């Protein structure tokens, strides 16, 4: 089943949280000269036109990234930890109106250096073509139309022993919740010092709790969980919140998110919105 298209959701509140964290992780990785691998198991199209029919149909970005940037200028009260992300979006748009939004490969492209390599997996026949076009002329990028869960495991450990893995499935199938966690548990056995970022939607709270339990019963150490919910949990269908598990986060990420999340709540959230930053498993 490949009906999910990220173009409908690009730049929404969930992307804002995911991509601001990805930006902070990559920003941290390039502080050292030594090269690293960036592996994206579910890459999407690479970059999105917010003016196209998909983004305009849902208008989700208007309640997300559009609230953090106006005419190419970041809001004056922007926390320092959000600045790299918002600056990147503004630069991509030529500091003009908000027309394009980067997917995770688009964020990565802004950070990767000559000594780093990027590995992108995507299954959708249309999005893989967009992704290949986006990666044209990008050196040391490897794009594959194959299963990202297997792809991640096949690349670990990276020769440099430095790596960031993003796992960002569409969750069209319930099995994605456990498959994503199990992939990290297996990957961690091969490469325990890597940084793993796993995105999830809050649609059914019990599915998130099962992910937490699976992690806490595993050998994985140093796990941070960050969550931002617009609404209370509900039994009705729909995404009320979003979160990420981050294994081996940069040491200051929890503190940075404690600065970012009150701001996101004030700009993107309503009265019912909540956030948490929790060290779920100690180092
Ligand atoms: C949530 S989107 C990815 C968004 C992207 N990571 C970003 O942040 O911009 C999920 C993508 O995974 C793709 N996909 C679904 N199952 C996959 C699999 N087993 N392996 C690789 N890609 C898959 C879908 O076609 C979709 O484009």
Q: What's residue 165's pLDDT?
A: 98
Counting Cβ atoms within 10 Å, is residue 109 exposed (0-12), middle (13-18) or buried (19+)? buried
Domain that holds residue 201: 6-281
Distance of CA 62 to the CA centre of its chain: 19
For the chain, the farthest-separated pair of C-alpha atoms sits apart, in whole angstroms, at 49
pLDDT in tens, the chain (283 residues): 678 999 999 999 999 999 999 999 999 999 999 999 999 999 999 999 999 999 999 999 999 999 998 766 667 789 999 999 999 999 999 978 999 999 999 999 999 999 999 999 999 999 999 999 999 999 999 999 999 999 999 999 999 999 999 999 999 999 999 999 999 999 999 999 999 999 999 999 999 999 999 999 999 999 999 999 999 999 888 999 999 999 999 999 999 999 999 999 999 999 999 999 999 999 9
Strand order, beta sheet including 141-144: 141-144, 117-121, 37-40, 163-167, 195-202, 241-247, 223-229, 274-281
Q: Where are the alpha helices (DSSP H) in 37-174?
A: 53-58, 83-92, 104-109, 125-135, 148-154
Residue 77 within any structural domain of the chain: yes
**Does the C-beta of 4 come closer than 6 Å to ligand 1?**
yes
Q: Is 147 a catalytic residue?
A: no
Give the domain CATH number at 158. 3.40.50.150
Residue 31 within any structural domain of the chain: yes
Q: What's residue 13's pLDDT?
A: 98
Neighbours of 159 (CB within 10 A): 10
CA distances from 112 to 52, 101, 138 (A): 28, 18, 10
Q: What's residue 82's pLDDT?
A: 96
Residue 136 within any structural domain of the chain: yes
Q: What's residue 1's pLDDT?
A: 65
Work out which ligand 1 atom sits closest to the CA atom of 19: 8
Q: What's residue 28's pLDDT?
A: 98
Q: How many structural domains compose the chain?
A: 1
Residue 170 within any structural domain of the chain: yes
Neighbours of 66 (CB within 10 A): 20
Q: What's residue 75's pLDDT?
A: 73
**Residues 264, 81 contacting (CB under 8 angstroms):** no
Q: What's residue 116's pLDDT?
A: 98
pTM beyond 0.95, yes or no = yes
- For residue 42, the CA-to-ligand 1 centroid distance in Å is 3
**Residues 224, 238 contacting (CB under 8 angstroms):** no
**Does the C-beta of 44 come closer than 6 Å to ligand 1?**
yes
Q: What's residue 215's pLDDT?
A: 98
Choosing from 168, 176, 206, 235, which is the catalytic residue? 168
Residue 1 within any structural domain of the chain: no
Residues 58 and 164: their CA atoms lie apart, in Å, by 31
**Does the C-beta of 201 come closer than 6 Å to ligand 1?**
no
**Does the C-beta of 121 come closer than 6 Å to ligand 1?**
yes
Q: What's residue 95's pLDDT?
A: 76
Distance of CA 269 to the CA centre of its chain: 19
Residues 41 and 160: their CA atoms lie apart, in Å, by 19
Q: What's residue 69's pLDDT?
A: 86
- For residue 271, the CA-to-ligand 1 centroid distance in Å is 32
> What is the rounded radius of gyration, in angstroms, for the C-alpha atoms of the chain?
17
């Amino acid at each position: 089943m490949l009906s999910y298209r990220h173009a409908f959701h690009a730049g929404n509140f969930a992307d804002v949280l995911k991509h601001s964290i990805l930006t902070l992780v990559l920003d941290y990785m390039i502080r050292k000269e030594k090269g690293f691998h960036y592996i994206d198991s579910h890459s999407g199209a690479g970059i999105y036109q917010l003016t196209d029919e998909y983004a305009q149909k849902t208008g989700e970005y208007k309640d997300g990234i559009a609230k953090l940037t106006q005419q190419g200028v970041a809001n004056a009260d922007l926390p320092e930890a959000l600045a790299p992300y918002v600056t990147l979006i503004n630069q991509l748009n030529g500091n003009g109106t908000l027309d394009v939004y980067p997917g995770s490969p688009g964020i990565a492209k802004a950070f990767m250096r000559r000594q780093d390599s990027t590995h992108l997996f995507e299954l959708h026949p249309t999005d893989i073509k967009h992704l290949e076009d986006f990666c044209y002329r990008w050196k040391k990028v490897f794009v594959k139309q194959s299963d990202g869960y297997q792809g991640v495991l096949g690349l670990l450990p990276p020769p440099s022993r430095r790596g960031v893995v993003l796992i960002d499935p569409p969750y069209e199938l319930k099995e994605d919740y456990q498959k994503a966690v199990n992939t990290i548990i297996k990957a961690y056995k091969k490469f325990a010092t890597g940084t793993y970022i796993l995105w999830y939607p809050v649609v059914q709270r019990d599915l998130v709790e099962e992910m937490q339990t699976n992690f806490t019963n595993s050998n994985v150490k140093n796990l941070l969980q960050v969550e931002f919910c617009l609404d209370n949990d509900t039994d009705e269908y729909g995404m009320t919140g979003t979160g990420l598990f981050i294994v081996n986060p940069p040491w200051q990420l929890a503190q940075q998110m404690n600065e970012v999340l009150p701001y996101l709540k004030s700009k993107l959230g309503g009265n019912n919105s909540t956030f948490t930053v929790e060290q779920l498993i100690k180092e």
